[in-house]
Structure 1
Amino acid sequence: MVLNAIRNRAFWTLDGLKGGIIKRHLNDVRRGVENPNSPESKKVKKRNIKALLKHASSTTPFYRDYEKVDNLEGYPVIRKTVVQDNFEAFKSELYKDAKNFKVSTSGSTGVPFFLFQNKGKRQRNHADVIYFFKQAGFNIGNRLYELEVWRAHNKKNNLKSKLQNVVQFDISRLSDDRILEFINLIKTDSQTEKTLLGFASSYERIAQYLEKNDLQLENLGIVSAIANSEYLNPYTKKTLGKYLNTDILSRYSSEEIGIIAQQTLESPNNFVLNHSSYHIELLNFNYDEPVKPGEFGRIVVTDLFNYAMPIIRYDTGDIAKLGLSSNGAMSFEQIEGRKMDLIYDSSGNIISSFVVYTKFYQYYHLLRQYQFIQQGEKHYEVKLNLQTGNTFQYEQALIEDIKSDFGDDAEITITYVDEIPPLASGKRRKVINNYKTH
């Protein structure tokens, strides 16, 4: 559409008037992500790491003792609690009086966590967003549907939404009527290229509705749908893709850090890592050594551009399976979600959350929501919120299916509930470990 092209041109013209900062960052991101092993990319990455370590060790109290350490491996792996407990010590003395930006997340546990970012970091994040959107077929100026829990603190005003061509669709109560409202909204939208961005759990509810009503939607102009904030299970990826006739891609990011990895149209199953803006490690669960391809490990990220509060070797609390891309670069085959919600069979062996999700696929037509909780060494609770008017006649079959992976001595309790409430962020935890963490 002509208006969308004007929006795109206006954005880059404005950036040019400001010195082309976003454009330069974007070119740097593109080079570093697409050719991470090239001599130029390695040179730039090495320079960025060296500059960050020098800055952190000379301007922040927390890293002061590492002033003579010139390699990342010599720095400690830190967790969210370390930052929270030493918040002031992470602030750079050079940026304390600068105009910084507060970024926050409620976190998967509902515990607030926030950081400050300097202007340069915000600009880099902007370029990251543009690049990874482009890899999902979205261009600046095109229609973007954002499926979120919209409240006063995060909602754009109407003018800004129109200028950016964004539709903010609230998913707080995603009933069948609300889903139908969303479908009709997209069907009546005359714009020919649309992209969706939303919580994976909202996509799952929409997929269930489309499948239940066998609504095959054609010619909607949906280029892709990006799932963020939560684990995108195979059922949702396949089913929603089928009924919307588009690619469903998963993005791994956080408000306090930025986009770390994303599936793309060229890599729809493996996650392409943001090698340019971050140094990403996948470390063993029990010690700080890299895992091998095909193994699961802890995602540890060094933010190369936040100078207001340098974050080095930050354990995100999530786990992934290490893979290699076609150019030999590190990638993620799977991202499992939060490490603290790893679950175990009755013998103490780690069970992938993917195994849990597969137990419920055949019952989706009966369920609104479900939740799997490990309450003890051998005790597991399954919460089911049934579709209106349905009864669940498959208790024993479900219990036996769970035991086939969790052990014959596993104790399974089925609990029926009217609602499984989301966290303050709007996310829903499908798998919870109340017994122990790794």
Structure 2
Amino acid sequence: MIGEIVRRYGFWSLDFLKGSPIRKHYNEIKYINNGGNKSEEIEKGNLKNLLNYAVNNTEFYKEYKDYTSIKDFPIIDKNTIKNNELQIQSKEFKNEELHTMSTSGSTGTPLVMKQNKNKRLRVMAELIYFGEEANFYVGEKNAFFRVWTKENRNSKLSLLMKNMIEVDISNSNDENMERISKLMKIDKKLKCISAYASSLDGLSDYLMQQGDDKSMFSIKSIISTAEALSDRTRENLQKLFGATIVSRYSNQENGILAQEMIEKDGFKINKASYFIEFLKVDSDEEASFGELARIVVTDLFNYAMPVIRYDTGDLAITEKLPDNEKVIKSIEGRKVDVLYNTSGETLSPHVVTNNMWNFNKVKQFQIIQEDKTNYTLKLNGAKNHYKDTEIEARFKSFLGENALITIEHVDGIPLLKSGKFQKVICKYKPR
């Protein structure tokens, strides 16, 4: 406890000596996201400043100088950014040393995003604010579960400053699960773990099979990232740790875009740092509440590479709460992960996950849509526990009775190189 307090005090003291840049960002993020009286005015100001800067300092956006609203700007995607990197980069930062963030490239070549110093400070402040929203505070020991390589590992000094340990989850066999289990039981200072949802699936299943319970751990916060956290895994984690459990929606190229709330349903949108639009899947019109929508992001603080109306490739459903707050009801995965039934109707990846709950002996599953009516279902752990006909009938209930399902029993399904697990692969492209 004393060590945590010293680290926290040291962090904020150092920031104070530098003029409190992180504290100022943190205060604004907290004020806006908590609904301060002038929040909307500040949000509009941040957006206007970014748009004006982009049209005056980049080749890509200079033709939009006479814009009247953000809707006058084009919607871009990863390929647009890759093909126009130099034109999007601000001329003001051409010769400056910039921080480089790179996506994993799980489903294609990586996207490289350059960020100026003030943007990096904003990201740090986001992490602190949303960490506190998840019951995790600066200075507390935490572990990050992912596939670690020489390209993404932190330096020893960085790990020391963050009080963080890197836990590699590239292998999900029992031996590695036991190693991770011992680490969490022995290290009583470990308070928070961050991990991809698929990693939490496997870890919680293993710990439940071992008969572990909350008396064995000191974890008080679990932050699930990258993928949707299933209700079953959430229930298991609650039994195992009795911790605060939240899902976080973020990406490498921007930062924290939204996070699940504890006191309310839904994900709180990070309006302080991003202007986020929710557009229809098949057009650029605004999607209605309850409708599947594309997530389109304008980063308000990356002036090195102003990214306006960036289609992340992710899908979500929004809703309005009784107090009129707009929130994300659910993150529905990536557009490339969308599945279609045999009638050509769009299905959420969650439909597949929810229909697998009754088959809890299955360690991993992956469905591949080969064409309009043909599907391949890979199962790890189903053999000798369930009949293929039983599983096939369940999948036909939402895919269509004329679905042709080939079931393959496998010993394991590889993770993507990012460490994420792709449950749905769609090769079918409807007209």
| TM band (smaller chain) | over 0.9
Matches within 5 A, 1:39-438: 39-191=37-189, 194-218=191-215, 220-267=217-264, 269-325=265-321, 327-365=323-361, 367-386=362-381, 391-436=384-429
- Give the letter aligned to residue 271 of structure 2: H
1:26 alignment counterpart: 26
- Give the letter aligned to residue 408 of structure 2: T
- Give the letter aligned to residue 51 of structure 1: N
Deviation at 1:229, TM superposition (A): 1.7
Instruction: Provide the rounded CA distance (Å) in 2 between the counterparts of 1:260 and 1:398.
Output: 36
> Which is worse superposed, 253-262 or 230-239?
230-239
Q: Per-residue displacement from partner, 1:91-118 (whole Å, max 9, x unpaired)?
A: 1111111221111012340421111111
Deviation at 1:254, TM superposition (A): 0.6
Aligned residues: 431
- Give the letter aligned to residue 90 of structure 1: I
Instruction: Provide the rounded CA distance (Å) in 2 between the counterparts of 1:349 and 1:363.
Output: 25
Q: Per-residue displacement from partner, 1:2-41 (whole Å, max 9, x unpaired)?
A: 0110000000000001000000000000011110xx5411
Instruction: Provide the rounded CA distance (Å) in 2 between the counterparts of 1:287 and 1:342.
Output: 16
SS at the partner of 1:222? coil
The alignment's TM-score, normalised by the length of structure 1, stands at 0.94
Q: Does 1:5 align with 2:1?
A: no
Q: Per-residue displacement from partner, 1:369-398 (whole Å, max 9, x unpaired)?
A: 2101111101111011228xx535420000
- Give the letter aligned to residue 20 of structure 1: S
Deviation at 1:437, TM superposition (A): 6.5
RMSD: 1.7
Q: Per-residue displacement from partner, 1:103-135 (whole Å, max 9, x unpaired)?
A: 101234042111111111111111011100010
Instruction: Provide the rounded CA distance (Å) in 2 between the counterparts of 1:324 and 1:347.
Output: 31
- Give the letter aligned to residue 13 of structure 1: S
SS at the partner of 1:363? coil
Q: Unmatched 5+ residue regions in structure 2?
A: none
Instruction: Provide the rounded CA distance (Å) in 2 between the counterparts of 1:32 and 1:115.
Output: 26
Instruction: Provide the rounded CA distance (Å) in 2 between the counterparts of 1:431 and 1:108.
Output: 13
- Give the letter aligned to residue 390 of structure 2: A
> Which is worse superposed, 178-187 or 129-138?
178-187
Deviation at 1:142, TM superposition (A): 0.6
Instruction: Provide the rounded CA distance (Å) in 2 between the counterparts of 1:386 and 1:221.
Output: 31
Deviation at 1:426, TM superposition (A): 1.3
Instruction: Provide the rounded CA distance (Å) in 2 between the counterparts of 1:432 and 1:247.
Output: 32
Deviation at 1:223, TM superposition (A): 1.6
Deviation at 1:326, TM superposition (A): 5.1
- Give the letter aligned to residue 49 of structure 1: L
Is the contact between residue 204 and residue 240 of structure 1 (CA under 8 Å) also seen in structure 2?
no
SS at the partner of 2:9? helix
Report sequence identity in percent. Answer: 37
